[in-house]
Amino acid sequence: MHTGTPQDGDLHFEVGQLTRVEGEGSLDLRVAADGTVAAQLRIFEAPRYFERLVVGRTPDEVIDIVARICGICPVAYQMSAVHAFEHLLEVEIDPAVRLLRRLLYCGEWIESHALHIFLLHAPDFLGYPSALEMAHDHLELVSRGLSMKKLGNRIVAIVGARAIHPLSVRVGGFSRAPRAQEFDELYSPLETAITEAEATVKWAASLDTPPSDREPRLVSLRHPGEYPMSDGRIVSSDGIDLSPDDWRSAFHEVQVPWSHALQASAADGVPYLLGPTARVALAADQLHPRAAAALKATRISPEALRRNVFHSIVARAVELLHALAEAADIVASYAPPARPASAWKPKAGVAAWATEAPRGLLFHRYKLDAKGIVRGAQIVPPTSQNQAAIEHDLALFAPAVLHLPHDEATRRMEQLIRSYDPCISCATHFLQLKIEHDR
């Protein structure tokens, strides 16, 4: 429902419920008489108290529980948690286990990116309310998306038993490691999907993109030897470079009165952007050669990719290709670990880690007691970190569309919000909505 209610010379846009995003949120935009724009992204997910739910649990139980924060990116939650625990407990991880985890994560990236590109975001660019309507005219496009999405799900299911809330990730490794022949079914679909993803990058770059200009502060992981995913230091486009252990020295969570979720913020208060655009910008040199080549062929400059928010669909397509290509490499060389999981001993301390969820950096921090029982937790999902950047970009973008008919202006702003692939279910803690009146 899109309603506009001009009040006292001020313009008030309200998008009642954002659609084609995961979870429930809404946008409140106020344009004052003097032209100043204030954007407020509200989240009205019901509180589920995950940080409290994990108290009293063992690390393995926590891995099962935090998956349930988000049905779209459960692997991300499991990966941040399991790595945090293993980091504290100093568990030695078999290299084959490490690769298998990366494969699992690739599967989730493929599923999530394909879902977002084809089913949630493409309808914005092509002018349909949903992918199902879009399929009437663009069946081939939707089918291509569905087949890639299915492949991502299949990878997660082979490694983790099922596509949503996989269940094999354990501290030290996996409850069971697949035999090599279980991946045989993937070879040919992966080859096909890589070719289709190359076409997808080209297609995404060809989309008619609204003008948009910004200079975002970008944040992602950085690892010396691999594209950011499950391991690395936290870096930014303006010089931040720290271990996830020190996340709190540069970031913190604040409660903003207009938002329902705790927002994460950098120490200096400058909004920052996570996700595919940030990763592609900060780790372009580490993209799989096929992904790098496809990006280069688009002739979109790194600067344009970074500055135009609507190019995020290109960055996401590049990462879809990267994840497919990396998954194919891992599958081709896979040999099961000698043991599916390494043994570990409980230890008291603080376990912190960050990994890259499909939509950006996901930070976990747990306090464990000497028996290995969790006594406290902090979970900072990417969307709560992106929230300030989304609001910032909306305020910047709004003046360009305010002259359009109200529905069209609203649609454009929704499209912008969807560029971040916001995953609102992920927000682990929310605030009661308070409607602010212009006075």
Chain positions 193 to 232 lying near other proteins, rule: CB under 8 A, are none
Stretch that binds other proteins, among 92-100, 156-164, 296-304, 327-335 (CB under 8 A): 156-164
**Binding pattern to other proteins, positions 405-434, x when CB under 8 A?**
---------x----------x--xxxxx-x
For other proteins, give the closer residue by CB, 393 or 414.
Answer: 414
φ, ψ dihedrals at 351, nearest 5°: -110, 115
- Hey, what amino acid is at 188? S
Task: Out of 175, 192, 237, 243, point to the residue binding other proteins (CB under 8 A).
Answer: 175
Residues 375-404 that bind other proteins (CB under 8 A): 375-378
Determine the Cα–Cα distance for residues 325 and 319; give it in Å rounded to an integer.
10
Distance, in Å, from the CA atom of 158 to the CA atom of 230, rounded to the nearest integer, reads: 19
Residues pairing with 366 in the sheet: 351, 377
Coil, strand or helix at 439: coil
Sole binder of other proteins in the list 41, 91, 131, 197 (CB under 8 A) = 131
What's the CA gap between 358 and 106, in Å, rounded? 9
Is residue 182 close enough to count as binding other proteins by CB under 8 A? no
Task: Name which of 36 and 255 has its Cβ closer to other proteins.
Answer: 255
**Which of 115, 309, 321, 390 is close enough to bind other proteins by CB under 8 A?**
115
**Part of the chain binding other proteins (CB under 8 A), chosen from 14-22, 80-88, 231-239, 277-285:** 14-22
Phi, psi of 394 (to 5 degrees): -65, -45
Residue 120 contacts other proteins per CB under 8 A: yes
Residue 65 Cβ vs other proteins, minimum distance, rounded to whole Å: 6
Could you tell me which stretch among 33-41, 173-181, 201-209, 277-285 binds other proteins (CB under 8 A)? 173-181
Which member of 3, 7, 143, 333 binds other proteins (CB under 8 A)? Answer: 143
- Establish if 19 lies at the interface with other proteins (CB under 8 A): yes
Residues 60-79 that bind other proteins (CB under 8 A): 61, 64-65, 68-72, 74
Q: Which of residues 44-63 bind other proteins (CB under 8 A)?
A: 45-49, 51-53, 55-57, 61
Q: How far is the CB of 127 from other proteins (least distance, A)?
A: 11
**Burial state string for 71-104 with b = 16 or more CB within 10 A and e = fewer than 16:** ebbbbbbbbbbbbbbbbbbebebbebbebbbbbb
**Candidate segments 141-149, 199-207, 271-279, 385-393, binder of other proteins by CB under 8 A:** 141-149
Nearest 5 degrees, angle CA 278-CA 279-CA 283?
A: 125
Shortest Å, Cβ 156 to other proteins: 10
Closest CB 287 distance from other proteins, rounded Å:
27
Question: By C-alpha distance, which of 426, 432, 433 is closest to 22?
Answer: 426
Residue 126 lies near other proteins (rule: CB under 8 A): no
User: What is the footprint of other proteins within residues 321-380 (CB under 8 A)?
Assistant: 340, 367, 375-378
Binding segment for other proteins among 124-132, 229-237, 294-302, 387-395 (CB under 8 A)?
124-132
Size of the site for other proteins (CB under 8 A): 76
Contact (Cβ atoms closer than 8 angstroms) between residue 352 and residue 317: no
What is the C-alpha separation between 388 and 115, in angstroms, rounded? 24
Among residues 271, 306, 248, the alpha carbon closest in space to that of 384 is found at 271
Binding span for other proteins by CB under 8 A among 29-37, 169-177, 199-207, 311-319: 169-177
| Residue 29 within binding range of other proteins, rule CB under 8 A | no
- Is residue 2 within 8 Å of residue 406, measured between CB atoms? yes
* Rg of the Cα atoms in the chain: 21
Q: Is 129 in the site for other proteins (CB under 8 A)?
A: yes
Closest to 244 (Cα-Cα) out of 370, 372, 355, 128: 355
What interhelical angle do 95-114 and 312-333 show, nearest 10?
140
Q: Which residues contact 317 (CB under 8 A, 6 or more apart)?
A: 113, 117, 197, 200, 201, 203, 204
Residue placing its CB nearer to other proteins in the complex, 87 or 116: 116
Number of Cβ within 10 Å of residue 329's Cβ equals: 16
> Based on CB atoms, which residue is closest to other proteins, 70 or 201?
70
**Contact status: 250 vs other proteins (CB under 8 A):** no
